[in-house]
Structure 1
Amino acid sequence: MGFVEDIERLNRLRLEGAISEQEYQDAKAALLAQSRPAGEKLKQAIDGIAPDDNMWGIFIHLSQFCGYLVPLAGLVVPIVLWQIKKEDSPVIDRHGIVVTNWILTAFILGVVFGLLCFVLIGIPLMAALVVVSIIFPVIGAIKARKGEVWRYPLSIGFFKFR
């Protein structure tokens, strides 16, 4: 039986009442101790991403909302933050690339949808673009907090990861 199956079996026993919560926790800790090498690799990978990098990733994603306060700031601020911090960490560089690709994609889509407003189909498309332009940065920031780089769906890859 593998590690995952053992944990699932323990959880089933706990849910059925065959073992107590304390027995479950003790058995799970024993299983984790047995799989120490895999756990150590995971810990090293997570430790390799500094919390500061995650915060800068969050700032880069959420700085797109500056455009709601100052016109064009939502386009400029994320790119400036990325350019300032991209040499410090490859994680920050990836967040900047993702956000810059989205900004350029959203700009192009906004122009096309704006032109399509003359034939009315552009109005719902523009509304959808506004909605995803709010949702995508929030999801990106949440993922950045966890140390993940999330590529925005529908985004054109103008810049590639190095």
Structure 2
Amino acid sequence: MSDDPQTPQPVPGPEARQWAMLCHFAAFLGLVIPFGNLLGPLIVWQIKKDLDPFVDAQGKEALNFQISVALAVMLCFLLMVVVVGFPLLMLVSIAALVLTIIAGIKANEGQAYRYPFAWRLVK
């Protein structure tokens, strides 16, 4: 998929949109098991990345964002020593929740979503 906004992108099929959405929503596995926010998108992406380029791109985006969130959460835990980590952890958690929901909805609509503030390690 081209990043050029002038180039019309083909609309992904319903199955590709569903799996792209699940790549984002798999991060909620982190509410059940430790590191599930990383494992969920990683597993869904690895299983379905060959289905469609849209699923591959959105899976990478979801995984990169969850890696960024995990690093931010670790930093918040370190900053709890000086108390500022508590409100920062709350802010990071709410932002991650909202952005993940928005990304899942956009992916289900067939729109490629790029998370703000994501460190893109997986290319």
TM-score of the superposition, structure 1-length normalised?
A: 0.67
For the pair shown, which has the larger CA radius of gyration, 1 or 2?
1
Find the aligned partners of 1:123 and 1:53 in 2 and give their Cα distance.
38
Structure 1 counterpart SS, 2:10: helix
Find the aligned partners of 2:36 and 2:75 in 1 and give their Cα distance.
21
- Runs of at least 5 residues in structure 1 that lack an aligned partner in the other structure: 1-41
CA deviations 1:131-161 (Å, max 9, x no partner) are 012111100011011101111111101123x
TM-score of the superposition, structure 2-length normalised?
A: 0.87
- The code of the aligned residue for 2:98 comes to I
Pairing of 1:148-159 with structure 2 (within 5 A): 148-159=111-122
Hey, which bits of structure 1, 4+ residues long, moved more than 4 A?
none
User: CA RMSD of the aligned region, Å?
Assistant: 1.5
Other-structure match for 1:6 = none
- The code of the aligned residue for 1:81 comes to V
Task: Pick the aligned partner of 2:58 from 72, 90, 95.
Answer: 95
Structure 2 counterpart SS, 1:45: coil
Other-structure match for 1:140 = 103
- Runs of at least 5 residues in structure 2 that lack an aligned partner in the other structure: 1-7
Find the aligned partners of 2:75 and 2:114 in 1 and give their Cα distance.
22
1:106 aligns with 2:69: yes
Hey, which of these two has a bigger chunk of helix by percent? 1
- Percent identity, aligned pairs only, is 28
1:66 aligns with 2:29: yes
Shift of 1:52: 0.5
Other-structure match for 2:89 = 126
Higher relative contact order (CA 8 A, sep 6+): 2
